[in-house]
Structure 1
Amino acid sequence: MNRIFSAALAAALFSIPLASRATDTAPREPYGIALEGFAYPYAVHLLPLVNDSEQLSMAYMDVSPARPNGRTVMLLHGRNFPSSYWGPVVKMLSEAGYRVVVPDQIGFGKSSKPVGELHFDTLARNTIALLDHLKIDKTDIVAHSLGGMLGVRIARAYPDRIAHLVLTAPIGLEDYRLYVPPTPTEKMIETEDKLTADGYRKQLQTNYAIKLPPEAITPFIDARFNIKGSPDYPRWLRAFVSSGQMIYREPVAHEIPLITPPTLFVMGADDHNAPGRPNAPEALRAKMGQNAELAKALAAKMPNARAEVIPDTGHLVFLEAPEKYRELVLGFLGQ
């Protein structure tokens, strides 16, 4: 992907001129805890929910195609990204005739940040509640990163609601508890709070092997660090750390071979993302994050799955290799 195309992608992705982006060191205009002030590419709706006796709202985009093919795709986002980053994929699917539903899970993006802990089972129930609200009996799921873990849990708990499952650079292909000792929540909060925008940019470029120019990464920096100016930032931070604990405490790797809906793994060859690696003993760190190989091994154990590995791409494979991603995903969903 050349730099001109990547810059255009970043602008289209977030519908905000690149020239208006704050630099990592410039003063930031605060966003609200629900990303008030941060633009999404399509209209955002809210679904009232109750989780653990707490009144919450789940944000989602619902995009209708010009020429419907009668099918729906739900997109499940990752931990470090607002669902707006799916913009190019929404366009791709919509042009192919799919209705596209794009939720922000509770605890993320424009959805409520709960006081209680996050759990994959709760997020799965919320996602099914959204399908019920929209009167969608069956959907394809395209998931990325942490969304892949959620997609696994949904496919296991509600297999009759899923037609196809696409796991795009998912995390959770290994049980991180085998490598990383438990980390207290307060220590995680302290670590995340000390992270700077520049440090986060380096973390994204290193941990995610992102082969995109800086301007394409800047929206992710903004989405996270402009929230620091919100008076509700401590609640956002605790919800964000809760999602990290959820990844660690609620592994799905052992469930993946049991998935019955047709499944496609789309992996970046250079994606070695492994949550918690810095906290693992040094001797074990190199063994973590062999994600492409893990996906191929898991697919071989599943009744109806395959893994495709795209060379020279990292964790954001659908932004780094959009044409190949389009070919693989549309071909799979069309089977």
Structure 2
Amino acid sequence: MLRNTIFLLLYTLSTIQLIAQEISPLGIALEGYKYPYPVNYIELHLQGESLKMAYMDVKPTNANGKTVILLHGKNFCGAYWGETAKDLQESGYRVIIPDQVGFGKSTKPIDLQYTFHLLAKNTKLLLDSLNINKANVLGHSMGGMLASRFALMYPENVDKLILLNPIGLEDWKRKVPYHSIDYWYEQELNKNYESIKKYQLESYYDGQWKEEYNEWVNLLAGWTLSPQYPQIAWNAALTYDMIFTQPVVYEFDQITAPTLLIIGQRDRTALGKGWVSEEVRNTLGNYPQLGKVTAKVIPDAELVELSNVGHLPHIEAYDRFIKPLLHFLKEE
């Protein structure tokens, strides 16, 4: 009872703050938010539930016969790949952009045991439904963990692998104390416009804010106005647990696909940094170091380091991101 009372109070305060910021409420499947390309759906039957997985299928005018699949991060959806998809399309690539189950315009299950293996299998089912046998796989942040898992599970279906400031280059549970899904759920319920912007400012952009970044704050903040926000928050909590407990770092040496690491050097993203001492915190999320180590472990890897760029190179420094990407994709 006390927990519900606290939630209602926090929810009311959050609503007042969001109205002050003129944030538009968004539905559980991002109703009210338009994606850059038409959205399609594939039906999935998982753990007793019938679910829909949303995706965009961007077809080129002058096709080169190759496909790129773009995998989004934890606090994002496929929409933030809009500019990337446009340039890939113009370069002849077919571009597939899914929203993973639990994210974006896809179904938010009542209760699902999330694993990266499951999300990789869902992604493979999507490609199979589109008769795509092989693709270049690009993953950002959490999408980098998923892209790595996909490449490990389905090596025969991967042309090239691109990891853009992926999380999971280190095993946080070796240094960070475990927190339960209930804890993550409470954290999600407490979110509002101010806390979301503060997190993105500090974690993604290292204190350097631009007006165009507001779109990705407003999207998450608009969700907190949904009557179904508790269900959204629950899915977010489940996927935090997945990220924390299912590291992929120990298997990088088994990746066989040619791999490009694009690493913004200002990035210091690490799950649970606020739960450890300053001494331990300073050892986490060191992307300049993590990028070099990972490039040495993956057998056929190339590293591009972007100086003075944070966690989202394709948002913060697009031109510096897209050039090495296109170059890598065109290499024989």
TM over 0.5: yes
Structure 1 position 281 matched with structure 2 position 285: no
Q: Which residue of 1 aligns with 2:107?
A: 112
Structure 1 residue 225, shift from structure 2 partner: 1.7
Q: Which residue of 1 aligns with 2:26?
A: 31
- Higher mean Cα deviation, 134-143 or 190-199? 190-199
Question: Number of residue pairs matched?
Answer: 314
| 1:44-83 correspondence runs (5 A) | 44-83=39-78
Change (3 A) 1:105 1:212: farther
Q: Which residue of 2 aligns with 1:235?
A: 231
- Higher mean Cα deviation, 77-86 or 211-220? 211-220
Output the CA distance in 2 between the equivalents of 1:308 and 1:82: 24
| 1:307-318 correspondence runs (5 A) | 307-318=303-314
Structure 1 residue 156, shift from structure 2 partner: 0.4
Structure 1 residue 294, shift from structure 2 partner: 1.0
Output the CA distance in 2 between the equivalents of 1:229 and 1:171: 28
Change (3 A) 1:56 1:212: farther
Asked whether the 8 Å contact 1:296–1:306 carries over to 2, the reply is no
Structure 1 residue 207, shift from structure 2 partner: 0.7
Structure 1 residue 95, shift from structure 2 partner: 0.8
Q: Which residue of 1 aligns with 2:253?
A: 257
The 3-state SS of whatever aligns with 2:118 is: helix
- Higher mean Cα deviation, 147-156 or 320-329? 320-329
* Identity percentage of aligned residues: 39
Structure 1, unmatched stretches of 5+, are 1-21
| 1:186-265 correspondence runs (5 A) | 186-209=182-205, 213-265=209-261
Asked whether the 8 Å contact 1:211–1:314 carries over to 2, the reply is no
The 3-state SS of whatever aligns with 1:267 is: strand
Structure 2, unmatched stretches of 5+, are 1-16
- Residue 92 of structure 1: which of 87, 91, 97 is its match? 87
Structure 1 residue 68, shift from structure 2 partner: 0.6
Structure 1 residue 213, shift from structure 2 partner: 4.3
Output the CA distance in 2 between the equivalents of 1:275 and 1:303: 27
Root-mean-square deviation over aligned CA pairs: 1.6
Q: Which residue of 2 aligns with 1:124?
A: 120
Asked whether the 8 Å contact 2:26–2:226 carries over to 1, the reply is yes
The 3-state SS of whatever aligns with 1:143 is: strand
Change (3 A) 1:243 1:185: same
Structure 1 residue 99, shift from structure 2 partner: 0.3
Q: Which residue of 2 aligns with 1:18?
A: none
Q: 1:273 corresponds to which letter in structure 2?
A: T
Structure 1 residue 23, shift from structure 2 partner: 7.2
Structure 1 residue 28, shift from structure 2 partner: 3.6
